[in-house]
Amino acid sequence: MVPGSENPPLPPGQVPAPLRRFGLPRFARVRPQEPTGTVVTVTGFVERPVQRSLDDLLGPHRRQALRADLHCVTTWSARDLHWEGVRFRAVHEALVDDVGVTRTAAWVTFVGVDGYRSCLRLDDALADDVLLADRLGGAALTPDHGAPVRLVAPAHYGYKSVKHVCAIEYSPTFDPGSAKWAAHPRGRVAREERSRYLPGPLWRPIWRALLPGVRRRYDDPPAP
C-alpha cells in the first residue's frame, strides 16, 4: 500500500477479500505444523553451503514493521496487513560473507517446509519492503499463514511470498518453482505480470472462475 495513504487504490484486476489460508490446489491438504528449532539451509551458487537456525539467521539484524496489502494472482487482495520481521536484504548481505554468494547468482529461490518453492530476481528480493516475517497483526505467525517465518514481497503476487521458509537457494537463472508454467519471472503486481503466458488482463476471468473451487479445497478440513 502507499505509505501514508489509508485507502490506496487496488491494483488492476484486484478485489478486496479477507486474508485466508490459500495457495496452489495441490498444497491444500499439506498442513505443516509449527516446528521447533527450525533450520534454514542456504545453498545453490554459494561457496560454502550452510544451515543456520532462525535465531542465527534473523537475530543479528534490525527488526522492521511493514504495512502492506497482499495481492493474490487469482484477483483477490487482503488489505492493510501489519507484518514484522527482518529485511531479506540484511540477511543476504550477511550471507554474502558467510557463504560466499557468487557473482553469477542473479535469482533466489525460497523453499517451504511443505515443499512449495518460488523464485525472485535477486534485485527484486533486495527491495526495502521484502521481509522474512515472523509476526502478523502483532502476533506470531500461525501455521496457516507461514509459521515460523515466511517471505513477504508485497510488490509481487502472493505466490512469490513463500510460507514456512526452510531453504534459500541462489542461482544464475530463473526457477519456475511450484507454479511451473504459470509463474512469471518477476510477478510484479503494478505491471500485472500474472504469468509468462498471455497478458495479465486475460487471466482475470480464468482465475476468477477457478477461485471458488480452490477456496473450497483450502476451507475443507484435511481427511483423517
- Residue-wise pLDDT tens digits, 179-207: 999 999 999 999 999 999 999 999 999 99
206: CB partners within 8 A, 6+ apart: none
Q: Please answer whether residues 87 and 74 qualify as being in contact, where contact means their C-beta atoms are separated by less than 8 angstroms.
A: no
Q: Please answer whether residues 80 and 65 qualify as being in contact, where contact means their C-beta atoms are separated by less than 8 angstroms.
A: no
Interval 86-126: pLDDT, tens: 999 999 999 999 999 999 999 999 999 999 999 999 999 99
CB atoms within 10 A of CB 35: 14
pTM score: 0.92
Q: What angle do CA 23, 4, 189 make, to 5 degrees?
A: 30
Helix (H/G/I), strand (E/B), else coil: 39: strand
Domains and CATH numbers, the chain: 37-181 (3.90.420.10)
92: CB partners within 8 A, 6+ apart: 101, 108, 122, 125, 126
187 phi and psi, to 5 degrees?
A: 65, 35
Interval 49-72: pLDDT, tens: 999 999 999 999 999 999 999 999
Q: Which three cell numbers stand for residue 106?
A: 542473479
